[in-house]
Structure 1
Amino acid sequence: MEDLTLAIQGMSCGHCVQGITNILSNLKGVKVDQVKIGEATLGFYPQTITPEEIVHTLEEEGYKARLSVEVV
């Protein structure tokens, strides 16, 4: 499992935090560590899902996401 931090725009409240948590939790190969307004930290299995696929999923839900730091 590799660690990933995402910067996420479009979050403004606890409802957004819960929504992002649910979206990420439902992705196969992703383990959510923490979601707060503007950021999500998670673990992922690169054999199962890529950071780009995670970002794309969030963008499909109306959020603007980008890799905050390099994949560790």
Structure 2
Amino acid sequence: MSTTYDVSGMTCGHCAQAVTTEVSGITGVTGVQVDVETGKVTVEGEGFTDAQVAEAVDEAGYALA
């Protein structure tokens, strides 16, 4: 399963790394791809919820748009 989210506030590679690290820690996530230019984060895996992704993105200092 692959789900794409819009994330606001990301501007650089450090932003992308912070989001990747936090989202990768969710149980069931097998891959995370961040595109800083478009603000898109694609999460691959199974068994995770939108709420878990939102919380992880928040923990990284950003928010789902």
**TM-score normalised by L of structure 1:** 0.72
In the alignment, the residues of structure 2 paired with residue 15 and residue 58 of structure 1 have an alpha-carbon distance, to the nearest angstrom, of 13
Root mean square deviation, CA, Å: 1.6
Task: Kindly state the Cα deviation for residue 57 of structure 1 after the two structures are TM-superposed.
Answer: 2.2
Residue range with higher mean Cα deviation, 52-61 or 6-15: 52-61
> Against the structure 1 CA distance between its residues 61 and 21, is the aligned structure 2 distance closer, same or farther, given a 3 Å change threshold?
closer
User: Does the CA-based 8 Å contact 2:3-2:42 persist in structure 1?
Assistant: yes
Unaligned runs of 5+ in 1: 67-72
Task: Give aligned-pair identity as a percent.
Answer: 32
Task: Kindly state the Cα deviation for residue 14 of structure 1 after the two structures are TM-superposed.
Answer: 0.6
Q: Say if 2:2 is the partner of 1:3.
A: yes
List structure 1 runs of 4+ shifted beyond 6 angstroms. Answer: none
- The AA in structure 2 aligned to 1:43 is E
In the alignment, the residues of structure 1 paired with residue 11 and residue 25 of structure 2 have an alpha-carbon distance, to the nearest angstrom, of 21
Unaligned runs of 5+ in 2: none
In the alignment, the residues of structure 2 paired with residue 33 and residue 23 of structure 1 have an alpha-carbon distance, to the nearest angstrom, of 10
Q: Which has the larger radius of gyration?
A: 1
Task: Kindly state the Cα deviation for residue 56 of structure 1 after the two structures are TM-superposed.
Answer: 2.2
SS of structure 2 residue aligned to 1:5: strand
Q: Say if 2:41 is the partner of 1:40.
A: yes
In the alignment, the residues of structure 1 paired with residue 19 and residue 60 of structure 2 have an alpha-carbon distance, to the nearest angstrom, of 9
